[in-house]
Amino acid sequence: MTVLAPEPKVLIDRARIAERVRALGEQIERDHPGGELVILGVLKGSFIFLADLARAISRPLRVEFLGVQSYGSAKTSSGAVQITLDLTNPIDGADVIVVEDIVDTGLTAQFLMQQLAARQAKSVRLCSLLHKPARAVRPVQIDYLGFTIEDVFVVGYGLDYAQRYRNLPDICVIES
């Protein structure tokens, strides 16, 4: 017998997401008018957000990806961050915007910011679509933030549960 997952309920609709992503792109562009700009997507959850954010920035930029894992197939972080895919090009001398889908415990974001600071970038800033401060274990400065949310489990717009639901166009809540 197949057990069906609960039906996701919309928390933030696609129109609000698009409006906020456009504003974040404009802010990043204002803050970084010259020099090499690299937007670094943290896989897999940020890929849709990163694509829309890249199109919201009209100046030249380079896109890189970094794979990390701290959840596996669970709904809570294991606390151990593992790099599963490293950068393919150096970032030294560049202004780097790390693009995350969500910052909740802060463990992954803090780990990444420390790792990237050692790679001699001109600057490293964090852009996160979502922030869940109720789950914070480590303080993290988010330079560009989409939305702050309550302590609910969200999927859609790139976020997943056991590799499912990433394709939903809205950010949705899955209730247990």
Q: Catalogue the active-site residues.
A: 104
- DSSP string over 53-80: HHHT--S--EEEEEEEES-TTSSS--S-
The tally of CA atoms less than 13 A away on the side-chain side of residue 42 is 26
Cα-based torsion angle of the residue sequence 49, 52, 56, 61 in order, rounded to the nearest 10 degrees: 80
Contact of 171 with 154, CB cutoff 8 Å: yes
